[in-house]
Amino acid sequence: MNITSTIDGTTTTLALEGWLDTSTAPQLGDALGQVDSGCTKLVLDFCGLEYISSAGLRQVVSAHKKMRGALAIINVSAEVMQVFKMAGFDKRLDIS
């Protein structure tokens, strides 16, 4: 998986590409750990994300907690959105 970080003022965007599963979830955890403390909004751009597992969902929950809800998830494919819906995340997170 590839993760590209972009900072625009106090908004950090992490663009993910590939699979977010058990073997790659620690990469997202590391990227989340490097988000500056001055960040007031985190955007996870899933434009290149092909698959997400429960390990990936745990990292999304971790990001949501870290940002105290100031998290947006954008460019979600139909396949990944299905996983979010099955987990009930579509009702609790800002997903578009």
In this structure, are residues 68 and 46 in contact, taking their beta carbons and an 8 Å threshold?
A: no
Q: How many domains does the chain have?
A: 1
Q: Quick check: 5 pLDDT over 90?
A: yes
Confidence at 45, pLDDT banded by 50, 70, 90: very high
CATH number at residue 59: 3.30.750.24
Residue range of the domain that includes 16: 2-95
Residue 93 to residue 96: CA distance in whole angstroms: 9
The mean pLDDT of 8-30, rounded to a whole number, is 97
- pLDDT number for residue 44: 98
With a CB cutoff of 8 Å and minimum separation 6, the contacts of 76 are: 46, 49, 84, 95, 96
Q: How many CA atoms lie within 13 A of 9 on its CB side?
A: 4
53-68 burial, b if ≥16 CB within 10 A, otherwise e? eebbbebbeebbeebe
Q: What's the confidence (pLDDT) of residue 52?
A: 97
What's the whole-model pTM score?
A: 0.95
Q: What is the pLDDT of residues 52-71, one digit of tens each?
A: 999 999 999 999 999 998 99
pLDDT at 10 over 90: yes
Angstrom distances, CA of residue 45 to CA of 3, 27, 40: 10, 15, 16
